[in-house]
A and B are shown apart, each in its own frame.
Chain A
Amino acid sequence: MDRTVAIDVSRLCKTYDTHKAVDDLSFQVYAGEIFGLLGPNGAGKSTTLRTLITLLHPTSGTATIMGYDSVREADKVRTVIGYVPQERAIDRFLTGREHLQLLGALYHLSKEEATKRIRELLTLVELEAHADRPAKTYSGGMKRKLDIACGLLPDPKILFLDEPTLGLDVQSRLRIWEYVRMLKARGMTVVMTTNYLDEADQLCDRLAIIDGGKIKTMGSPVELKIALGGDIVSLTLKELDRIPALETELKRQPAITSVRTTTKGLDIRVESPEKALPTILESANRLNCSVEFIQYNRPRLDDVFIAHTGRAITESIPEAESA
């Protein structure tokens, strides 16, 4: 792949009053890739994105987009990007077509050029039939599609998507994933945020897991999973009170990398399941733990997330941290 740097973020910080929403982020996005920012609510994803699209000035640090500084050359940056905000930024009284016409004028397209692109985009997002209805009559999914069409109107070099599939049904999500892949195939660079693990896993070429305004880890989904070191054997035990004893026992075994208690048993990380499985079962037998269920998994992105943030993405942020 072409490794031209499209976005270069260096030591970026953004503080609201006293709260550090983004804390010393550094990363690069390569041209032509789909880059994801994965994190729970309040992690600082939208704040990072808003800085990149010149709507926020960093408190310190810099961001360069296609070689242009996000503060000093904001005008230039705005000509190479498209943006799809997290909220449905729709004017209820305008029709879909009028949204696109308005943006066409704001991107200084000529009438003919705008008309042509609007027609293409409406076809792409399958809104031709509804293009002349006021947006207040649109469903949530249709609004999202219009949002995306608006982001694509300038035919940007880099498209920024803030939680593109939040609140959509499964079908619409899959459609949007398809669009994004197609845009990538056309050579567009895509930067997106998400708090869906499957989305990050399936769609992103590389991703940064951020939490509390900091990058916890970064890489391709596969690299991140491999970096965890090994596969996972999940045990479900009949007698929950035996869990701690078994945990202590297993932690002593060399074939086992790490052990974590879950609600019904243990998640055991192993280098090679062939060597570890007998050991695990033998230990369980010795301690009289009856195993109800045993499952063997390659690591999922969930596990990557837990390993780097200490909790599942669905668990809310502890009060002390979010305050």
Chain B
Amino acid sequence: MEHYWQEISALTMRWVRRLSREKFSMLFTLVQPMLFWLIFFGNLFQRAADTQVMQAPNYISFLAAGVVVMTVLNNGLAGGVDLLFDKENGFLERLMSTPIHRTSVILSRFIFVMAITSMQVLVILGVSYLFGVEPATGILGVAMILVIGMMFGVGLTAISMAMAFSVKSHGDFFSVLGFLSLPMIFLSSALVPLTAMPGWMSFLAQFNPMTWAIDAVRPLILSGWSEALPHVGMVIIVMLIFDALCLYGGAKAFRRAMG
């Protein structure tokens, strides 16, 4: 157990060090593009968006929940990239030839991705606050938002790592990634509520775990506990199932790749 902890903290430290060495990418990670979505998209569509349909005082407060979950989505889906590079340049092989627990590398990646994601979510909520969006459920609500984000992020990161272990080339990896992420966003309630979508889109969006996450985060920001709680309960169940499926798939891919 002590060994396990020593391995995981050293491996997590490595991800932190890598990020801190890449000054440029660190800047983009922290002030990340999702923030621009919030600021520009949120303010741009202010007039175009119908607050009746949105059920929100303004578009930016409606969008905040979507941007929070989109951040989780992007980080999660990109979570396996570094492992992909490690696999391709042989570093992963070097790590796996040491007497570490087989899950240490993966766990360190989960910890790192979740930590970065949480920080970004907090930055986004902070910036929304500057635009006058005050979470209706307070600090506890923010904590709940982080929990939902983590639960969704774990599954996504597992998918990303599973892909990293199974693809033949990193070209494949990035194509699949691009192919997955946009439909996930548009077929969800991130940008418009389901009620404002064409029928077929709102139908598909119901099967998107992202919709469930957003539908729970949004009342936590906009309305208050009484409205949010049923959604929160629901999303926890959905995410447990989602995570179980993703982790199962991820474990299979990992076992196949690592013999």
Contact = CB atoms under 8 A, between A and B. Distances in A.
B119 interface: no
B89 A89 contact: yes
A103 interface: yes
Contacts of B98: 78, 103, 106-107, 154
Interface of B: 3, 6-7, 9-11, 13-14, 17-18, 21-22, 86, 89-91, 93-100, 258-259
A98 B17 contact: yes
A83 interface: yes
Contacts of B7: 105-106, 108
Nearest first, the 6 closest Cβ-Cβ pairs linking A and B are A105-B10, A89-B90, A78-B99, A87-B90, A93-B21, A106-B98
15 contacts: A55-B259, A56-B259, A75-B99, A78-B97, A78-B98, A86-B90, A88-B90, A91-B18, A93-B22, A98-B17, A102-B14, A105-B6, A106-B10, A106-B95, A106-B99
A93 B17 contact: yes
Nearest to A91: B91
B259 A108 contact: no
Contact of B97 (A55, A88, A90, A134): A55
Nearest to B19: A93
A94 B14 contact: yes
A55 B96 contact: yes
Nearest to B105: A106
B259 A106 contact: no
A69 to B, nearest CB: 14
A54 interface: yes
Interface in A39-87: 50, 53-57, 75, 78-79, 81, 83, 85-87
A150 interface: yes
Nearest to A51: B259
A83 B89 CA distance: 15
A315 to B, nearest CB: 28
Contacts of B97: 53-55, 78, 81, 83
A257 interface: no
A101 interface: yes
B11 A102 contact: yes
Contacts of A75: 99
A165 B4 CA distance: 34
Which of A81, A93, A101 has the most chain B CB atoms inside 10 A of its CB? A93
A89 B93 contact: yes
Q: Do most interface residues of chain B lie in helix, strand or loop, or is the interface mixed?
A: helix
A90 B9 CA distance: 19
A90 B91 contact: yes
A150 B99 contact: no
A134 B21 contact: yes
Contact of B6 (A55, A91, A108, A134): A108
Interface residues of A, number: 31
Contacts of A107: 98-99
Contacts of A81: 97
A93 B17 CA distance: 8
Contacts of A83: 93-94, 97
B90 A108 contact: no
A102 B93 contact: no
Interface string A163-177: 000000000000000
A224 to B, nearest CB: 30
Contact of B89 (A79, A87, A101): A87
A102 B21 CA distance: 16
Nearest to B100: A106
Contacts of A150: 94
Contacts of A54: 97, 259
Given A56-B259, A78-B99, A91 B14 contact: yes
A308 B47 CA distance: 81
Interface in A1-58: 50, 53-57
A101 B17 CA distance: 13
B7 to A, nearest CB: 6
Interface centre among B3, B7, B91, B258 (most CB of A within 10 A): B91
Contacts of B18: 91, 93-94
Interface string A92-124: 011000100111011110000000000000000
A109 to B, nearest CB: 9
A52 B89 CA distance: 20
Contacts of A86: 90
Contacts of A89: 89-91, 93-94
A176 B258 CA distance: 30
A102 B10 contact: yes
A312 B22 CA distance: 46
A143 to B, nearest CB: 11
Nearest to A106: B98
A108 B99 contact: yes
Contacts of A94: 14, 17-18, 21
A93 B3 CA distance: 25
Interface in A124-166: 134, 150, 154
A107 B104 CA distance: 13
B127 to A, nearest CB: 29
Nearest to A136: B21
A85 B21 contact: no
B183 to A, nearest CB: 32
A298 B259 CA distance: 46
A89 B86 CA distance: 8
